[in-house]
Amino acid sequence: MCGIVGYTGGRAAAQVLLSGLKRLEYRGYDSSGIALISRKRLRCWKSAGKLQELENLLPENPAGHCGIGHTRWATHGKPSTENAHPHLDTEATTAIVHNGIIENAVMLREMLQARGVVLQSETDSEVLAHLIAAADGQTLQERVRQCLMQVRGAWGVVVSSTTEPDTLIAARNGSPVIIGIGDGEMFVASDASALVRYTRQVVHLDDGEVAVVRPDGFEVTALDAKPMTKTAITIEAGHEDYDRGGYKHFMRKEIDEQPEAVARTLSGRLDERFNTAHLGGLNLSARELLDIRRIKILGCGSAYYAGISGAGMIETLARIPASAEPAAEFRYRNPVIESDTLYIVVSQSGETFDTLAALREVRRKGGRVLGIVNAVGSTIAREVDGGVYMHAGPEISVASTKVYTCMNVVFALLALHLGRVRDMSPQHGRKMIEGLQALPELIEQALADDDHIASVARHYATCESAFFIGRAAAWPAALEGAQKLKEISYLHAEAYPSSELKHGPLALVDENMPTVAIVPDDDLLEKSLASIEEVAARSGPVIAVTNSDDQRVIKLASHVLQAPAAHFLLGPLLLGIPLQLFAYHCAIARGLDVDQPRNLAKSVTVE
């Protein structure tokens, strides 16, 4: 999705903007641009394609200490230089960069054209530059406010103008904007990754707010000019967390970071005295937790799959009926919201539009919502009634790996906590704690099988399709495994609960259709073996992903990806590690761009 950077201060703005835009590349984009103010003149460079194309256009050391930059992911209008941001008004006094959608753009374009304005692009965003330049406010801030009163839709917008050459105006409505506080310099970005190199002190704008940003500080008002008080927070991650380090791909780095990420998720949360989990941010007393009759988990993509897995853990340990649903589907079916249901939204970025909209719908109807979120201070984190941060560290690769694992770990902690305020015995709680404490080391062991997994992946990388099957707790692992393979290797992969195989998909099984079978060492092992047999009997190659040492698995499968034994509830989570590596190595064998898969974005902030 689109990215925004703004700078005002003593440095050469072009360098700051370019380094910020590079940090935002991971979000996915198809064109880029920057605008600088120098000697009261606005200059703008834009290009379709990668950032390198933009850099090729720039003169050496372009002058200017204030400017804005953008990476665009096309929604209205094709990827092209004209449609790239920044957009300028006709006299080139005002430049804007915009994330989001202006819903009444057609009407506004016609209105501007009737006044004789010649629009340069097909975008909905360009109208903002013309409207701001034409507004009759005394200050740039007033003109931006006037413009925003006329538009409908979603925006994260930053404006620069020759009338106030060292000022940036930033505004938010539905699309994230963060102000970074420096010493005699200030930054604006749509994502903290763009500014951590310069500052870790940030302020998140809320919907309907407008900020005036100058080198010596900022002030925030509502759209009606009412002053707002804002509190700065410190970002946990350093800029090195946003680097590839020695790795070729962020995905690979993030797969390898899982032992430390999981240790951070667990840190300070295991209560060995009472054999429970300590989750400070839930904002729910033991009495309130006892009153919960049902749990509904909402998320998108991998977060939804982690939700299915979480629902299973909660039902098993706490015996509370729990289920997961894709956030957008939930919202659109006009759900019944119950006061004794606890709603949980799950999101890495904390900005996914569909998840945020579902959260708002539940709260509007009086429901109580907890968040399981990675990005500290994100919109979802700020709007929930309570929640748990994952502390997985920044995840840059589009394909989620360490965060999917940490989402599962948070659910395990929550299930333990809910179980211990209900019927779960201290002994049972103790076993779960030991299982969780062992996880970082077990993940390390699972990662050590990399070479073997790579050779198996190379063997199957030329296939056209694959099934992924798993039973009960292994079913979400199958969904996530298939998703990883689809996302980065573009292989057709479909996940089924093992029991469903014989109700249709089995018709496709032959020697050219491999099946990845997730076989945890749990009570259902015999049943899982029966499913593998069904496939093997039809000459279908089976890749068994297992932490069981049962010889029958080894005999029946064409290839085995082995993970270490674990607490029965954590087995499927651990089996996710070989599945990540399998997808990664398939994509590498197929020569694909692992970190920026086609058509996908890391965080989907539009509907």
Distance CA 531, CA 534 (A): 5
Give the interface segment with ligand G6P, choosing from 19-27, 64-72, 189-197, 301-309 (CB under 6 A): 301-309
Contact 374, 392 (CB under 8 A): yes
Q: Is 493 in the site for ligand G6P (CB under 6 A)?
A: no
Please report how close the Cβ of residue 361 comes to ligand G6P at its closest, in angstroms: 16
Closest separation between CB of residue 252 and ligand G6P, Å? Answer: 16
Max CA distance (Å), the chain: 80
Strands across the sheet containing 492-497: 492-497, 465-470, 515-519, 542-546, 559-562
The residue among 213 and 577 lying less far from ligand G6P, judged by its C-beta, is: 577
Cβ burial 293-328 (10 Å sphere, 16+ → b, else e): eebbbbbbbbbbbbbbbbbbbbebbbebebebbbbb
Does residue 605 bind ligand G6P (CB under 6 A)?
no
Q: Which of 347, 546, 548, 562 binds ligand G6P (CB under 6 A)?
A: 347
Q: Residue 327 CB, nearest distance to ligand G6P (Å)?
A: 8
Question: Interface with ligand G6P includes 157 (CB under 6 A)?
Answer: no
Nearest approach, Cβ of 349 to ligand G6P (angstroms)? 3
CB of 18 to ligand G6P, least distance (A): 25
Question: Which span (18-26, 41-49, 341-349, 556-564) binds ligand G6P, by CB under 6 A?
Answer: 341-349
According to CB under 6 A, which residues from 45 to 74 bind ligand G6P? none
Angle CA(75)–CA(78)–CA(82) in degrees, nearest 5? 110
Shortest separation between residue 232's beta carbon and ligand G6P, angstroms: 23
Q: What distance in Å separates the CA atoms of residue 554 and residue 20, rounded to the nearest whole number?
A: 50
Here the tokens at position 417 are 């906590």
Q: Work out whether 488 is an interface residue with ligand G6P (CB under 6 A).
A: no
Which CB atom, from 94 or from 489, has the smaller least distance to ligand G6P?
489
Residue 265 sits in the site that holds ligand G6P (CB under 6 A): no
CA distances from 289 to 183, 387, 529 (A): 45, 13, 38
Beta-carbon-side half-sphere exposure of residue 592 (alpha carbons within 13 Å)? 22
> Per CB under 6 A, does 83 bind ligand G6P?
no
Q: Cβ of residue 4: shortest distance to ligand G6P, in angstroms?
A: 18
Cα–Cα dist 250/22, whole Å: 14
Terminal-to-terminal C-alpha distance of the chain: 12
Shortest separation between residue 392's beta carbon and ligand G6P, angstroms: 11
CB of 374 to ligand G6P, least distance (A): 7
Tokens of 52: 């390198």
Cα dist. 246→38, 154, 243, 250, 482 in Å?
38, 38, 9, 10, 28
- Binding segment toward ligand G6P, per CB under 6 A, in 15-23, 262-270, 519-527, 599-607: 599-607
- For ligand G6P, the closer of residues 400 and 408 by Cβ is 400
Number of residues that bind ligand G6P (CB under 6 A): 15
Segment contacting ligand G6P (CB under 6 A): 65-73, 158-166, 343-351, 513-521? 343-351
Residue 302 makes contact with ligand G6P by CB under 6 A: yes
SS (H, E, C) 23-40: HHHHHCCCEEEEEEEECC
Q: Is 604 in the site for ligand G6P (CB under 6 A)?
A: yes
Question: Minimum distance from CB of 399 to ligand G6P (Å)?
Answer: 6
Catalytic-residue membership of 2: yes
Binding to ligand G6P by residue 519, rule CB under 6 A?
Answer: no
By C-beta, is 398 or 509 nearer to ligand G6P?
398
Taking CB under 6 A as the criterion, which residues in 373-412 touch ligand G6P?
398, 400
Q: How far is the CB of 577 from ligand G6P (least distance, A)?
A: 17
- From 40-48, 346-354, 443-451, 472-480, span contacting ligand G6P (CB under 6 A): 346-354
d(CA 197, CA 200): 8
Q: Is 469 exposed, middle or buried (0-12, 13-18, 19+ CB in 10 A)?
A: buried
- Which residue is catalytic, options 22, 296, 484, 602? 602
Of these, 349, 401, 515, 546, which contacts ligand G6P (CB under 6 A)? 349
- Range list of β-strands (E), 278-360: 294-299, 322-326, 341-347
Q: Which residue is nearest to ligand G6P (CB)?
A: 301
Residue among 348 and 528 whose Cβ is closer to ligand G6P: 348
By CB under 6 A, name the one of 20, 33, 69, 301 that touches ligand G6P.
Answer: 301
Looking at the Cβ atoms of 185 and 361, the one nearer to ligand G6P is 361
Q: Which is nearer to ligand G6P, 515 or 603 (CB)?
A: 603
> Helix 571-589 to helix 475-489 angle, to the nearest 10 degrees?
20
Residue 141 interacts with ligand G6P (CB under 6 A): yes or no: no
Distances (CA, A) of 9 to 64, 88, 169, 387: 10, 22, 14, 37
Which of 141, 199, 603, 605 lies at the binding interface for ligand G6P (CB under 6 A)? 603
**Cα separation, 451 vs 566, whole angstroms:** 22
Q: Contact, 544 vs 442, CB < 8 A?
A: no
The correct pick among 8, 167, 190, 355 for binding ligand G6P (CB under 6 A) is: 355
Which one of the spans 47-55, 107-115, 297-305, 489-497 is the region binding ligand G6P (CB under 6 A)?
A: 297-305
Omega before residue 86 within 30° of 0, cis: yes
In the numeric block, the tokens 């992903």 are attached to 545
Nearer to ligand G6P, 89 or 395 (CB): 395
Secondary structure class of 465 (helix, strand, coil): strand
Is 602 tagged catalytic?
A: yes
> Nearest 5°: CA angle at 400, between 396 and 404?
125
Tokens of 107: 């009407």
What are the catalytic residues? 2, 602
Contacts to ligand G6P by CB under 6 A: 300-303, 347-349, 352, 355, 398, 400, 600, 602-604
